[in-house]
Structure 1
Amino acid sequence: MRVGLLGGVRATTDDGEPIDIGSPRSQAVLAALALSQGTPLPVSRLIDLVWGDAPPNSASKALQWHVAQLRKSLGADAIARVGAAYRLDVHTDVEHFRRCVRLGDTAAAVASWGGVPLAGLEAPGLDSAVAGLTEEWLGAVEMDFSRRVSADPRSVVGELSSFVSDHPTREGLAALLMTALYRTGRQADALAVYQRVRQHLVDELGVEPGPALRVAEQQVLAHAEVPAPVLIGRDADLAAVREALRLSPVVTLVGPGGIGKTRLASAFDGAFVSLAEITLPADVPRAVADALGIVERPGVTVAQAVVAARPSLLVLDNCEHVLDGAAAFASAVCSSVQVLATSRERLSVADEQVVVVEPLDDAASVELFDVRARAADPAYSGDASVIELCRRLDGIPLVIELAAARVRSHRPAELLTRLDIGVRRTGSARHRTVRSAIQWSYDLLSAPEQELFCRLSVFAAPFDLDAVADDHLLGDLVERSTVAVHDGPFGRRFRLLEPLRQFASELLRDRAAALSSHASWCVRQVALIGGLLGGPAEVEGVGRLAELWPNLRAAVTWALESGDVRLADALIRPVVTELPLRGRREIGDWAEQLLAAMASHHTHVRAGVPPKSTLASGSDSLGGAEAGLGAFWLVWVAERNTQSSSPAGLPDTPDHPLSRYARAYASGDGLKLAQSLPEAVSSVDDPQLRAFLELMPSGTLLGVGQFEHVDTKVARLADRYREQGPPTLLHWALQTLGYSAMFQGRVPDPFFDEAADVALPPGTLSANKTTEARRAFRQGDRDKAFELLEAHIDELLETGNVVAASIVALEFIAITKASLREEAATVLGYLKHANDFGAMAAQKLVIGLTTTAPGMGDREALLYMRGVLSAGRGRSGSRRPPAGRV
């Protein structure tokens, strides 16, 4: 079944047959729910949306009636009651549209737009939601036009003109139309667009055009590009790649550095992954995970996660130095996801199509040179020497752009005189051409510019202005086409193109100083991000951390390899809670490496060998501060091991309150944990981390009956998080209070309902689905309960967060003990022996069920429950799981 809102409110079966959804008021109820698909809407909010500012006194009862009618039409499980809220659990066309936008597939997003949202429906309360959705569509349209204008400006002029006429205040669309007209030789028409839009803005709104449109006009008047085209002379290559993608699951663009492979691949909508910053083939999955925002999990490979996400196209850029890893990854995903790779040689995988990217011909080379030269110097005018210059540069786009960026100081004839490369049209000669041209361009930089250019080679991903002490020098490098710039989700970002980065890295003289500066920038970044993660802007912090992660990984690696324990601590500590909150296990790996570096330091000191690390040189034992540092990181090794139920022991560290806390936490000994907690918490200076350490062991403390302690401490934390954030910790605190209430025989629903309404950042670990499953079962929807619990088990297995298996087991027993008594008894055997929480749950909450079954491991129990739930959905009576427990 599918609900549609675009072009009018409607519902259809999977076969496309229309479903009667009742009166306009019922349609408004459905539309309100569908605009928030999958998220519970409180009854009060629904009434506001459906009836607007003047709801009748009977609105609450009327809403119940409309929901009941919709359930009759759509099915009983289409609309779920979640406390004092309703939630639509049906796929919608809006959901599909938004997913395409999130994946960056703007072409698919625009194609999926079915028309004006809620067309023909009178629902004033939904006007703002419709306006917001329309704004999302126009944003997608603008992004898609930007892509199409770059690829083929002539083909979009007519369609873009229509959009500008329909939306005369969208200055971004008008600027794109000016770009398209100018690139097709219609400068006068481009300026006329500016005048028409300006007149409309002045007459209708009383405002002048904004900066983007004014810059577009100035660039057209100055004969500059708006912005510069990216695919001059590549029409035949675009067609060849499209045809290859039609025929093959893997297409590789092959050619020397600087030939334009990356730019050509970027013209195709897809998930883009640069492999330039990694050095080992084994690191390819990690680079993909970074680029696509995938958090690596035990039990599921990155390739499996990519297949599950199903992007329309996966672009693997710069594969040549990690060819084996790129080939293995492409082979692992290409049966479900199409792959477009760029490399200096083919991947040599099954069914691969190779497209050789050739140099630009003379006409395209001259056009590219002229465009880039006009952007650098509006007074530029070409001469007869340009064609010979481009031939000497072998038609390689990167080299042509580097030369054109110099026209302010050198006329083309002078450039030709200075350029003595000696090129022949062979693959190896083209590599020499690129290197020679980069060297020549580098030689023309001033000494400070050369130094900055080389220092920037240590950045593993894009960076912001704060990374550079002299932004004037950086601006000079941008003008000379040696540094690329783009607008990211959190502002302007800079990077070196890969051939330039490799060259700069080879010439970097003081690598240690550059890496130290890079690490200092990362420290400033994580301090900012840590503040966001600890407050109401948590979702922004999660996004910024994902953007920073490749650079942060490089900085942590260097700090650990250098033995700079203090620096490693400063880099990781502000974001350390992302390990338990979002499952970033790499933090646990870093913690273990940090402890190993500390241990190595003191081994060297005791042996009389100069230590590699910067930690307390000259001492032969850990002092109080160093002991506290080691104990702190032991906590996060314990968290990583506990989260995945790893039996691995903890490294040896001196006695410290946090060490005792970590070992009690890892062993699941609730009594020792309760004893060690006060002193451990008081030993931490950071108030946010202190509060987190109070919250983290609450489940274990519930297992040993510390109800009053948990209720007092966690209720206080919940009040704090309601006022100050972050949302995730409020959610966790409410879930904890819910289970505490349940153990004490009180009604837990208010806590669980409030927790379910908290908006969480992507990837957050949550137990929402377990409580939703129990609620669905109590409402008589057994299949829905089974489906929710099975989906949650899949999430736990994928994330490796198998320590939560005891919570799942509790809900599993509650919804299966009547119809699947034997299976429930088997899981009760696991629950009793899983941990203190499980034993307490079995004692307090499981009545009328006994077991003689032996205990299982956490992962084994999850797999067993998933098998039972999968076999039991849609069938009545007792069903047996598949053969065997797993």
Structure 2
Amino acid sequence: MRIGLLGGVRATTGDGEPIDIGSPRSQTVLAALALSAGTPLPVARLIDLVWADSPPANAEKALQWHVAQLRKSLGASAIVRVGAAYRLDVPTDVTRFRSLLRAGDAAGALTEWGVPLAGLSAPGLESAVAGLTEEWLSAVEMDFSRRVSADPRAVVGELSSFVAEHPTRESLAALLMTALYRSGRQADALAVYQQVRQHLVSELGVEPGPELRAAEEAVLAHSEVPERVLIGRAADLTAVRSALCEAPVVTLVGPGGIGKTRLASVFDGAFVSLAEITSSADVPRAVADALGIVDRPGVSVAQAVVAARPSLLVLDNCEHVLDGAAAFAAAVCSSVRVLATSRERLSVADEQVVVVEPLDVDAAVELFHIRARAADPTYVRHAAVAELCRRLDGIPLAIELAAARVRSHSAAELLTRLDIGARRTGSARHRTVRAAIQWSYDLLTPAERKLFGRLSVFAAPFDLSAVADDHVLGDLVERSMVAVHDGPFGRRFRLLEPLREFASSRLSDRGEALAAHASWCLRQVSLIGSLLAGPREVEGVGRLAELWPNLRAAVTWAFEAGDLRLVDALLRPVVTELPLRGRREIGDWAEQLLTRAATHHTHDTRRVPPKSTIASGSDSFWLVWVAERNTQSSTPAELPATPDHPLARYARAYASGDGQQLTQCLPEALSSVDDPQLKRFLGLMPAGTLLGIGQFDHVDRTVAELAVQYRQHGPPTLLHWTLQTLGYSAMFQGRDPDPFFNEAADVDLPPGTLSANKTTEARAALRRGDRHKAFELLEAHIDELLETGNVVAASVVAVEFIAITKDTMREEAATVLGYLQHANEFGARAAKTLVSGITSSEPGMDDREALHYMRGVLSAGRARSGTRRPPAGRV
């Protein structure tokens, strides 16, 4: 069976026979479900969608009747009841349309298209229809982009109609300008720009955006392929123009293949390529050949250029003849502006440098699509292109070389072939990205080559402490072999990906390089660990985020080398980031450590190198973090087997959520830990479970002591957690929790910290009478939990959800109460002590399902209450 919405609401059998789906209202119910096929829609949300602002008094019963009629027509299993929600489990043409669009098949997606819900009046679904129409326009733009490249004349008429119908769609206007220009109609292309600009300014009060401005600039510059050649370079064009107005010599610097030559070629002037010469002494001859200068006795080439006074002299590919290029530029720049491209500056007087950066992902993807369509008119966009462009680090030449192979390789296949070759005209170094890098590499000194190779093991930016000789690193930066930028914690260096790939292939001492890299990571995590444990936690979190790709690479290598003790040392300083900010990869590594350690335990330990094992008791330590990972994501996976140890018993009790067992094993587990910071942390982790079994005195005493410690010494996140815990303890005991919650809300937390702040803020908003804000806050918190995978916190959200819905959405509140009673001991305690006046329904949901259900209800409720939101500042 298939459900259709595009071109009208309909249902057909597998053989294409139409199915009667009843009245227009029943069709609206089906359309609402079909627009979210596979996702439960709460009853309240469905009522909003079907009846908009005028639901009948018996809306729920009416909805049930329409669903029953649809089930008779479609089959009982087509629409499933999920708590207080309904879900359609039938494929739809909207799903097919979106799937094709996500895969980059715009032409295929357009074949599915028809006017959404044609012939059906459904005001509640107007926003969904508008969203679908926006997706259709995106597909139209993608398809026109392909057709403009293949045959620009053939699309001018159709594209003109679309631009007239959608005058604010700047992408369509830019495509029309491209088609007109490529059809030899430059004036008409510029007229389109003026018409669209006038509409934007007069109707919306805004100027055209970067894409449309770039299209105009490219047409004015008489570029061979207007804005698409320069896609993503609008800011660079502006920077170069500004620099040429201020300085006699402007040098574009960057690594091979970054697009320096193409950017320079946009500017009108005398263009000289120095790629083919091998000596600085040959620079004048190359200029003479390019400009057609005839030798005359007593007149140098430089003098001839000055006499000819071109508006601009472009010296391209200067890096290998730097001295000659610099001397020639200095000789003519008093009378002629010079634009040079090089891996490094010319170092002449009054020179201004413009660094040419890689393309961003969107621009890189668009460049790939343009070049791919030129190579193969049948090419259609593919989702893998974005990842391919990332792998190629946004370097235009690399992207173009990859795109040239789409006739023989899919985008997915190209992902595995970064060193793609292509037969091209021009100098040898432009035949492949690899050849371009090889050409630059050959100019390095032995010391530079060695460091360049060793830097290939770095998976992300690094600081000066990562290298032994910062002078050599500086030389590589000057030669544009290493990129540098200013980060939040100082200057950072990195190899662009194609350069890193090349450097890796030239690395002869890989083992030593990887060991040095791991040692650097070890020093970094030691510093970061001390920051995370104190008042400078925010800095520690930022530094760890920056280090993470390198840390992952070091851990991977340590595992491959069988050095489990190195893995242990790399992870211990930052292990608490798993529960504090949801870095579950730590839990994955912990489980891998346990598996590897268990494998070694089965062999004769006398034959196992010490580094292949972990220290006594470490297996129990890492079991704790496997348990934390599983608990955080509500994964009931069985914990790995480890020797009996107090920490192992603690981990298993914690993972099971057994409060009584935790109470028994906690003291011995804490006494087995030497690190005082870790001991405090492990004492805090099970506080929620202990609250669930009524251990209020224990929690209040121990957590209050921890709060004192964290107020004095940090870190802020653990102070926040202790205060939140004390607040919920007060709630369970019938005391005022606000002093704790208010103080917790005032703590400045690092980005990404798992916090229940929004739940308490939602309660405060509800007390002020602002249900809309309460719904908004709780919905935002659910989004965070789903995004981070910390779904175990659903029970905390459920407490607040019931509080803000039980008076007006009793059925939905009862559904969530049923979930809460069975979620965990914390939830059961909350359901017993904090909820009254409603009776639970069948639970039937796990943590993740409960979060999705609550989010749907909140979204619908917020939509209904939006027009009744209190004015700002009013309680």
TM-score normalised by the shorter chain: which range applies? 0.5 to 0.7
Q: Counterparts of 1:612-627 in structure 2 under 5 Å?
A: 614-616=611-613, 626-627=615-616
Q: Provide Cα deviations, 1:114-153, integer angstroms capped at 9, x if missing partner.
A: 9xxxxxxxxxxxxxxxxxxxxxxxxxxxxxxxx9885444
1:863 partner SS: helix
Q: Which moved more, 1:658-667 or 1:148-157?
A: 148-157
Match of 1:494 in 2: 493
CA shift for structure 1 position 556: 0.8
User: How far apart, in 1, do the equivalents of 2:447 and 2:241 lie?
Assistant: 44
CA shift for structure 1 position 826: 2.6
Q: Counterparts of 1:718-737 in structure 2 under 5 Å?
A: 718-737=707-726
Match of 2:623 in 1: 634
- 1:318–1:343 CA contact under 8 A, matched in 2: no
Match of 1:252 in 2: 368
User: How far apart, in 1, do the equivalents of 2:486 and 2:601 lie?
Assistant: 46
- 1:523–1:571 CA contact under 8 A, matched in 2: yes
Q: Does 1:761 align with 2:760?
A: no
Q: Counterparts of 1:693-772 in structure 2 under 5 Å?
A: 693-772=682-761
Q: Provide Cα deviations, 1:314-338, integer angstroms capped at 9, x if missing partner.
A: x7350799xxxxxxxxxxxxxxxxx
Match of 1:567 in 2: 566
Q: Provide Cα deviations, 1:21-59, integer angstroms capped at 9, x if missing partner.
A: xxxxxxxxxxxxxxxxxxxxxxxxxxxxxxxxxxxxxxx
Q: Does 1:774 align with 2:763?
A: yes
Amino acid of the residue matched to residue 801 of structure 1?
A: N
User: How far apart, in 2, do the equivalents of 1:283 and 1:691 lie?
Assistant: 46
User: How far apart, in 1, do the equivalents of 2:863 and 2:354 lie?
Assistant: 59
1:800 paired residue among 783, 789, 798: 789
Amino acid of the residue matched to residue 548 of structure 2?
A: W
Q: Does 1:833 align with 2:822?
A: yes
Match of 2:453 in 1: 454
User: How far apart, in 2, do the equivalents of 1:228 and 1:759 lie?
Assistant: 39
User: How far apart, in 2, do the equivalents of 1:282 and 1:552 lie?
Assistant: 29
Aligned-CA RMSD value:
4.5
CA shift for structure 1 position 159: 11
Q: Provide Cα deviations, 1:485-516, integer angstroms capped at 9, x if missing partner.
A: 33222111222344443332122222111101
Match of 1:503 in 2: 502
User: How far apart, in 2, do the equivalents of 1:497 and 1:743 lie?
Assistant: 55
1:227 partner SS: strand
CA shift for structure 1 position 802: 1.1
User: How far apart, in 2, do the equivalents of 1:775 and 1:453 lie?
Assistant: 57
Q: Does 1:687 align with 2:676?
A: yes
- 2:401–2:432 CA contact under 8 A, matched in 1: no
Match of 1:818 in 2: 807
Residues 254/867 of structure 1: CA separation in 2 closer, same or farther (3 Å cut): closer
Match of 1:534 in 2: 533
Amino acid of the residue matched to residue 346 of structure 1?
A: A
Match of 1:545 in 2: 544
Residues 348/728 of structure 1: CA separation in 2 closer, same or farther (3 Å cut): farther
CA shift for structure 1 position 158: 11
Match of 2:640 in 1: 651
CA shift for structure 1 position 440: 6.4
CA shift for structure 1 position 832: 1.7
User: How far apart, in 1, do the equivalents of 2:651 and 2:747 lie?
Assistant: 29
Q: Which runs of 5+ in 2 are unaligned?
A: 1-200, 207-232, 248-309, 313-344, 373-381, 412-421, 866-875
Match of 2:356 in 1: 230
Q: State the aligned residue count.
A: 528
User: How far apart, in 2, do the equivalents of 1:648 and 1:282 lie?
Assistant: 33
Amino acid of the residue matched to residue 578 of structure 2?
A: L
CA shift for structure 1 position 739: 0.1
Residues 437/823 of structure 1: CA separation in 2 closer, same or farther (3 Å cut): closer
User: How far apart, in 1, do the equivalents of 2:589 and 2:533 lie?
Assistant: 21
2:390 partner SS: strand
- 2:463–2:493 CA contact under 8 A, matched in 1: yes
CA shift for structure 1 position 431: 5.8
Residues 578/780 of structure 1: CA separation in 2 closer, same or farther (3 Å cut): same
- 2:425–2:431 CA contact under 8 A, matched in 1: no
Q: Provide Cα deviations, 1:769-790, integer angstroms capped at 9, x if missing partner.
A: 1112222222222333223222
- 2:393–2:496 CA contact under 8 A, matched in 1: no
Q: Provide Cα deviations, 1:632-654, integer angstroms capped at 9, x if missing partner.
A: 11111111110110111111111
1:859 paired residue among 835, 842, 848: 848
Residues 846/556 of structure 1: CA separation in 2 closer, same or farther (3 Å cut): same
User: How far apart, in 2, do the equivalents of 1:537 and 1:457 lie?
Assistant: 31
Match of 1:596 in 2: 595
Match of 2:658 in 1: 669
User: How far apart, in 1, do the equivalents of 2:371 and 2:567 lie?
Assistant: 40
User: How far apart, in 1, do the equivalents of 2:517 and 2:861 lie?
Assistant: 55
Q: Provide Cα deviations, 1:651-674, integer angstroms capped at 9, x if missing partner.
A: 111111111111111100111112
- 1:254–1:345 CA contact under 8 A, matched in 2: no
1:485 partner SS: strand
Residues 675/497 of structure 1: CA separation in 2 closer, same or farther (3 Å cut): same
* % identical aligned pairs: 68
- 2:371–2:403 CA contact under 8 A, matched in 1: no
- 1:148–1:156 CA contact under 8 A, matched in 2: no
Provide the TM-score with structure 1 as the length reference.
Answer: 0.53
User: How far apart, in 1, do the equivalents of 2:800 and 2:727 lie?
Assistant: 13
- 2:723–2:744 CA contact under 8 A, matched in 1: yes
Match of 1:140 in 2: none
User: How far apart, in 1, do the equivalents of 2:788 and 2:438 lie?
Assistant: 47
Q: Provide Cα deviations, 1:255-275, integer angstroms capped at 9, x if missing partner.
A: 99xxxxxxxxxxxxxxxxxxx
* Greater C-alpha radius of gyration: 2
User: How far apart, in 1, do the equivalents of 2:352 and 2:454 lie?
Assistant: 31
Match of 1:474 in 2: 473
- 1:807–1:838 CA contact under 8 A, matched in 2: yes
Q: Provide Cα deviations, 1:832-866, integer angstroms capped at 9, x if missing partner.
A: 22111111112222233333534531122222322
Residues 429/349 of structure 1: CA separation in 2 closer, same or farther (3 Å cut): closer
Residues 220/458 of structure 1: CA separation in 2 closer, same or farther (3 Å cut): closer
- 1:721–1:730 CA contact under 8 A, matched in 2: yes
- 2:782–2:851 CA contact under 8 A, matched in 1: yes
User: How far apart, in 1, do the equivalents of 2:495 and 2:628 lie?
Assistant: 38
User: How far apart, in 1, do the equivalents of 2:346 and 2:427 lie?
Assistant: 39
User: How far apart, in 1, do the equivalents of 2:397 and 2:861 lie?
Assistant: 42
Q: Does 1:316 align with 2:442?
A: no
User: How far apart, in 2, do the equivalents of 1:229 and 1:860 lie?
Assistant: 50
Amino acid of the residue matched to residue 751 of structure 1?
A: F
Q: Provide Cα deviations, 1:278-319, integer angstroms capped at 9, x if missing partner.
A: xxx99999x89xxxxxxxxxxxxxxxxxxxxxxxxxx73507
CA shift for structure 1 position 453: 2.4
User: How far apart, in 1, do the equivalents of 2:437 and 2:404 lie?
Assistant: 27
CA shift for structure 1 position 476: 3.6
Residues 320/343 of structure 1: CA separation in 2 closer, same or farther (3 Å cut): farther
Match of 2:105 in 1: none
User: How far apart, in 2, do the equivalents of 1:593 and 1:571 lie?
Assistant: 14
Q: Provide Cα deviations, 1:530-578, integer angstroms capped at 9, x if missing partner.
A: 2222222222222211211111111111111111111111111111111
- 1:562–1:612 CA contact under 8 A, matched in 2: no
CA shift for structure 1 position 253: 7.8
Amino acid of the residue matched to residue 633 of structure 1?
A: W
- 1:253–1:342 CA contact under 8 A, matched in 2: no
- 2:566–2:611 CA contact under 8 A, matched in 1: no
1:345 partner SS: helix
Amino acid of the residue matched to residue 692 of structure 2?
A: G
- 1:317–1:342 CA contact under 8 A, matched in 2: no
Amino acid of the residue matched to residue 531 of structure 1?
A: S
Provide the TM-score with structure 2 as the length reference.
Answer: 0.54
2:399 paired residue among 334, 337, 342: 342
2:493 partner SS: strand
1:487 partner SS: strand
Residues 789/160 of structure 1: CA separation in 2 closer, same or farther (3 Å cut): farther
1:535 partner SS: coil
